Homo-oligomer: A and B are copies of this chain.
Amino acid sequence: MPASTETEFLVETQFAAFPALALDCGVVLHDVQVAYETYGTLNASASNAILVLHAFSGDAHAAGVSKENGQPGWWSEMIGPGRAFDTDRYFVISSNVLGGCRGTTGPGSLDPATGRPYAMNFPVITISDMVRLQKLLIEHLGISRLLAVAGGSMGGMQALEWTVSYPEMVAAAIPIAATSRHSAQQIAFNEVGRQAVMSDPDWNEGNYYDGPPPRRGLAVARMVGHITYMSDASMRQKFGRRLRDKDAFGFDFSVDFEVESYLRYRGSQFVNRFDANSYLYITKAMDYFDLSAGRPSLASAFNCPDTRFLVLSFTSDWLYPTYQSLETVAALRSRNIDVAFCELTSQYGHDAFLLETKEQSEMIAGFLARVSSERDQAQPRRPEASEPVNLALSTRPDYAMIADLVEPGSRVLDLGCGEGELLAALRAQKQVDARGVEIDPAKVGRAIARGVSAYQSDIDHGLADYPDQTFDFVILSQTLQETRYPLAVLREMLRVGKRAIIAFPNFGHWTTRVSHLLSGRAPRTRLFPHEWHESPNLHFLTIKDFIGLCRKENWIIERQAFFRGKREVRSGANLLAEVAVFSIRAGR
């Protein structure tokens, strides 16, 4: 999804005001103003609106070029004509958060009761309060249901809060590099930042609006923040141990290293665009964030069966690590909510959600296309990028057989789904509810871009979150021999699915056996073409092995079919078949 080469569109921040906002702390805030921008056009049915949500220090200016100062938005590469959030199709809204300092009411705003800045009299707010204000804005814009809410970091936390607070108002959510609850380490880093601000005598208990702001404290806080936004690897790459404007150590406490110079600069610059009290309030809101609080579990927070999720994280993000995204994903899957997940490979750390726009764009575009087509209640849209595979013509003989076994409109999980070809075809031809599991992040990305709900995991561990009997069919095609613990995988398939469809190459094929007997070598045939030392297969099994296992495990074989090339083998399968396909279910 290349960024448009046209001249960037000009945008202007707008403002809306609301008489009152009830907060979680019990206080009612009066005369609340919201700064926001919109991109694209709201359609007649007001069904194409997407709310994008900024991170900690962001603002309403997410896209285009500011009329005021010519600056691009913080997600300009993602929002615009032909981009991930395609303004030719969607109406995109971005607003500054409650408690902020960029146009929306915050501690630096005038308290209507006193005519002076709130300062520390501003009530302590929550992520849920921020979202409550956003809801007022959305309704003010004439929108009753959002096509999607999307954001990274604190923006992702708001997106999740939307699905919990107003599940009926969001068709889809895209939380990126986010969490459902702040961890002790995240609280700790925020607390350090707050202490740095509050330790600065210029902070003056928050009453600095008539004098110098706490520049030094806020700068130190921001320096800590910048370290956590990058990764060890990206800092090594960007700065290494390079010195700043010198050839040798200064043996003093001025700047020696590039990284020191960068941090000092970023710290000092931040003071010019951010209010120290907003720093305190917004970090506190993040620390309070815990969707599981007051509930029996995180899963119980998500009462949004029809909302589609795309959850993204990044390998090198140690501030909002992947395990936190997986907590959210696991909770959603345990409620059987449709969630695609991919951990993108990136060196950029937490900043990746702002920097890795290409892969994110492809996935988000595909995901939004699926969601909007589903919402239009039309036939599931055929993905634009690639036509679904014609299964009858596929080079994979097992695909046609599998398609034959799957009932129309059923719920299907494909293990090792690759780029989602089979699932896309089943969706198009049999209108199934299609989910996939795939370990390769690049393939997961392409599957999601194709509109398939794929989940990045290895098959040995990928099913644990699903409740029993979630699917009608669980498919494992040509992958069993590559799993590390095939028996455990088969058992899991029959736990989460009513039926399991398994296709595998038959190690009992006569060429394999005769080759082994006569050659005295590890068999090497058309079916098992690899030299013994380069095979990806971890296990070898024959048709007879599989049937024996079914008997032992009390699994009932409902259908079986065996193939040599594309021809079905009717008898002597263990000797003659190259590929076997079984449909099994658990016995009583």
Contact = CB atoms under 8 A, between A and B. Distances in A.
Interface in A230-244: 230, 232, 235-236, 238-241
Given A519-B544, A539-B532, A195 B182 contact: no
Interface stretch (A55-63, A86-94, A216-224, A560-568): A216-224
Interface stretch (A95-103, A186-194, A389-397, A422-430): A186-194
Interface in A497-523: 507-508, 512-514, 516-517, 519-522
Contacts of A219: 195, 199
Contact of A192 (B224, B235, B520): B224
A514 B516 CA distance: 9
Contact of A260 (B187, B241, B541): B187
A293 to B, nearest CB: 8
A18 interface: no
A18 B236 CA distance: 39
Given A232-B321, A521-B544, A267 B200 contact: no
A247 to B, nearest CB: 12
Contact of A542 (B25, B188, B267, B520): B520
A196 interface: yes
A485 interface: yes
A124 interface: yes
A264 interface: yes
A513 B518 CA distance: 9
B239 A487 contact: no
Contacts of A252: 124
A330 B366 CA distance: 44
Contacts of A267: 195
Q: How large is the interface on A (under 10, 10 to 19, 20 to 34, 35 or more residues)?
A: 35 or more
Interface of A: 25-26, 120, 123-124, 181-185, 187-189, 191-192, 194-196, 198-201, 216-217, 219-220, 223-224, 226-227, 230, 232, 235-236, 238-241, 249, 251-253, 256-260, 263-264, 267, 280, 284, 287-288, 290, 318, 321, 485-487, 507-508, 512-514, 516-517, 519-522, 531-535, 538-545, 548-549, 574-575
A253 B280 contact: yes
Nearest to A182: B241
B241 A185 contact: no
A535 B545 contact: no
Given A513-B520, A522-B507, A541 B545 contact: no
B195 A223 contact: yes
A185 B542 contact: no
Q: Which 4 A-B pairs have the closest CB atoms?
A: A199-B216, A184-B235, A124-B251, A25-B251
Contact of A533 (B181, B259, B549): B549
A291 to B, nearest CB: 12
A442 to B, nearest CB: 20
Given A191-B260, A192-B263, 7 more contacts: A183-B241, A191-B264, A192-B220, A199-B200, A201-B201, A318-B318, A521-B542
Q: Which secondary structure dominates where chain A touches chain B?
A: helix
Contact of A227 (B188, B264, B532, B574): B188
Nearest to A509: B520
B544 A520 contact: yes
A180 B520 CA distance: 52
A556 B544 CA distance: 41
A532 B517 CA distance: 19
B241 A534 contact: no
Contacts of A182: 241
A533 B522 contact: no
A188 B255 CA distance: 12
B522 A541 contact: yes
Which among A192, A199, A226 has the greatest number of chain B C-beta atoms within 10 A? A192
B184 A257 contact: yes
Contacts of A181: 241
B487 A534 contact: yes
Nearest to A200: B199
Contact of A520 (B224, B240, B257, B508): B508
B257 A287 contact: yes
Contacts of A575: 520
Nearest to A319: B232
A271 to B, nearest CB: 12
A8 to B, nearest CB: 33
A486 B533 contact: yes
A129 to B, nearest CB: 11
A188 B267 CA distance: 12
Given A124-B251, A191-B263, A487-B534, A227 B520 contact: no
Contacts of A226: 188
Contacts of A258: 184
Contacts of A541: 521-522, 532-533
